[in-house]
Structure 1
Amino acid sequence: MSRILSTLALAAASAVCAAAAHADTSDKKIAFSNNYAGNSWRQAMLKSYDIVTQQAVKDHVVAAADVFTTADKEVPTQAAQIQNLILQGYNAIVINASSPDALNGAIKQACEAGIVVVSFDGIVTEPCAWRVVVDFKDMGKQEVEHMAQFQPKGGNLLEIRGLAGTSIDEAIHAGLVEGVKAHPEFKIVSSVTGDWDQTTAQKAVATVLPSLPAIVGVVDQGGDGYGAAQAFAAAGKPRPTIIMGNRQDELQWWKDQKAKDGYTTWSASIAPGVSTLAFWVAQQVLDGNKSIPHDLVVPYLAFTQDDFEAALPKIPNGGVASHEYTQADAIAAIKANMK
């Protein structure tokens, strides 16, 4: 898990000293607009956010850090939510967006009202917003690179996509496509939607398996690996190489398979606690740090055959490997991106 902080470590030594406020934020209110909470990653994201932000409120760093999750996944609902937050007088909005561009009108209205907007995970393209960005396209490419190590002869791949219309789904898919172009020994023969959820993924995979040729590997987006494994087992199909997404049930299954016959794979995902980094970025902008780059790149969290078992006991049952960021971490990330 330590590698998630690799790009932050360069600036960490001086981070605390740099935290001196330019302007007092103790009276500022930050809202979190979240478009979806229906899987283990999102639940872990909300838990991490609550841990960090409630302490920040207790410490009088900010006056409020309220969370608003929409009842559905639809863009109009989240756009209306953002407009309500503008009217309620929030100073900043942290957002996990349902679309990279369809919310831009509402985001621009917030900016014009003097509200700081920081998007993460599901980012927005409106220039006035800040973006805490993970290179999801690279993550997709790396899935195929690792698959080429595990299945050097190549073969047919099944792709499990995430939540349709989000920037994450589109970026990971683009990376997978690029990876397959670089490794023509592989072919994606089918693609299903898993919504980053084990149950949804299992049903989707089970539906298409009877009609598919032999599958050597499953490339996905996280939250779907264990569901895919269950679907293959239930169908009596040979076990493929399944890329994992840092969920506890996935890593436990991987451990069990490794103990049985040395099963090898790779796991990667954005840490749910990136929500807390977005919060601190919003706080720093409110603090007067207007030189913060609007695109902040942070690393995704990956596990290999050698280190996933050490991380597994630290992940709650049904949870996801994560990391809660501190204010010092945020300042270090900002400095790293300014170099």
Structure 2
Amino acid sequence: MNKALNRAIVATGLILAATAAQADTADKRIALSNNYAGNSWRQAMLKSWDTVTKQAVADKVVAAADPFTTAENQVTEQAAQIQNMILEGYDAIVINAASPDALNGAVKQACDAGITVVSFDGIVTEPCAWRIAVDFKQMGKDEVLYLKDKLPSGGNLLEIRGLAGVFVDDEISKGIHEGVTENPQFKIVGSVHGDWAQDVAQKAVAGILPSLPADIVGVVTQGGDGYGAAQAFKAANRPTPVIIMGNRQDELAWWKEQKDATKYETMSVSIAPGVSTLAFWVAQQILDGKEVQKDLVVPFLRIDQDTLEKSLETTEKGGVANTEYSLEDAQKVIAGK
């Protein structure tokens, strides 16, 4: 009886300890403010958020983790959305921002109301907020460095940019142009916006191809645009250049087909959509009283020739190669590990 009683006491103590550990955030409500959902990366990002946060709510880690997406990629609409979240009394707002600075007024209002603000992917510059990002500029530069090794003689490049006016688009493009400046054997002969969407990119590339030189050796991209670019080159009956991919399933599947048929070589790089789940856990940890530095950097997710098949196997049709983060992952990032 004594042993049984002891076991019961220990078990009760463990339950109470677990409850106490969760008590600081069990009644907290977190909102996601997202400015855009019009491509597969954003859809995967929202799906990851839903998967991880629903479990966190079920486990009583937080009381709510509600996602909201604006109808248009407009700063004014997202600012109004954030102001509504302030009025709703959320304890933290996780934000993928339409602009790094134009939302700072609304973000400051949230901070002044005692709300924790964590930005990711599209980060904000307001000092009171936290930021989680990859080095997007380096990501763009790495595309050119890859082409430098593969095509040492250089040549003409086509640049496909993302969504105009968004921080991520600007930073990746800066990195690409910096890489070309340092490697003048390459020349960017055309640039279009593909909005990180296959169909938009295909139309944009098809529209500019007739005005470009015949000898395009490479296409530098931002994600969601590689497959569309390939289809545009095919429709124009032009040779397929080295197209940098962006981890979308349609891009990876096309790449594998070309690799099997002609030994086609390229690389693929993007930020994992599951970074939204890292931002959620960082917000939860801040609400739990943890000390977290304002700027956190996570590596981008790169796929090379020898990891293509494995990555494709784990990427669902219509989706994006992804990593979802756990509380333990977030704690490691916070600790700089």
Please report the TM-score for the alignment, with normalisation by the length of structure 1: 0.92
Question: In 1, distance between residues paired with 2:289 and 2:73?
Answer: 33
- Equivalence for 1:113: 113
Match of residue 199 from structure 1: 199
Distance 1:22 1:45 in 2: 26
The structural deviation recorded for 1:57 is: 0.3
| Residue of structure 2 equivalent to 1:273 | 274
How far the C-alpha of 1:22 sits from its partner, in A, is 8.8
Shift of 1:308: 1.2
- Which amino acid counterpart does residue 247 of structure 1 have in structure 2? R
**Counterpart position of 1:210:** 210
Moved >6 Å (runs of 4+): none
- What do the CA deviations read for 1:147-204 (whole angstroms, capped 9, x no partner)? 1122221111000000111111011011001100111000111110000000000000
Letter in 1 for 2:325: Y
Task: State the distance in 2 between where 1:149 and 1:23 align.
Answer: 53
Instruction: Point out where structure 2 has 5 or more consecutive residues left out of the alignment.
Output: 1-19
Distance 1:260 1:182 in 2: 34
Using the alignment, how far apart are the partners of 2:21 and 2:164 within structure 1?
A: 40
Deviation by residue 1:295-319 (Cα, 9 ceiling, x = unmatched): 0000000011111111101111110
Structure 1 residues 60-71: aligned runs within 5 Å: 60-71=60-71
Shift of 1:21: 4.2
Percent of aligned pairs sharing the same letter: 68
Amino acid at match of 1:61: V
Matched residues in 2 for 1:63 and 1:261: separation? 53
Cα distance in 2 for partners of 1:309, 1:138 equals 25
What CA distance in whole angstroms lies between the structure 1 residues aligned with 2:320 and 2:336? 26
TM-score (normalizing by structure 2): 0.93
* 2:114 counterpart letter in structure 1: G
Matching of residue 295 in structure 1 with residue 302 in structure 2: no
Partner SS state of residue 216, structure 1: strand
Paired with 2:195 and 2:97, the residues of 1 have a C-alpha distance of: 15
Cα contact 1:21–1:287 (8 A) shared by 2: no
Distance in 2 between the 1:26 and 1:147 partners? 49
For each residue in 1:192-221, what CA deviation from the matched residue of structure 2 results, as whole angstroms up to 9, or x when unmatched? 000000000000000000010021100010
Query: What is the distance in 1 between the residues matched to 2:311 and 2:147?
Result: 22
In structure 1, runs of 5+ residues without a counterpart are 1-19
* 1:75 corresponding residue in structure 2: 75
Asked if structure 2 preserves the Cα contact closer than 8 Å seen for 1:121 and 1:132, the reply is yes
How many pairs are equivalent? 317
- Partner residue in 2 for 1:14: none
Q: Which amino acid aligns with 1:26?
A: A
Larger Rg: 2
RMSD over aligned CA atoms reads 1.1
State how far apart, in whole Å, the 1-side matches of 2:175 and 2:103 are.
24
AA aligned to 2:101 is D
Match of 2:149 in 1: 149
Q: Which residue pairs with 2:8 in the alignment?
A: none
Structure 2 CA distance for aligned equivalents of residues 318 and 210 of structure 1: 30
**Contact 2:22–2:60 (CA under 8 A) maintained in structure 1:** no
Look up the match of 1:44: 44
- Write out per-residue CA displacement over residues 1-60 of structure 1, whole angstroms, 9 at most, x where no aligned residue: xxxxxxxxxxxxxxxxxxx94961000000000000010000000000000000000000
- Mapped contact 1:23–1:288 kept (Cα < 8 A): no
2:250 aligned partner: 249
Aligned to 1:128: 128
SS at 1:71's partner residue?
A: coil
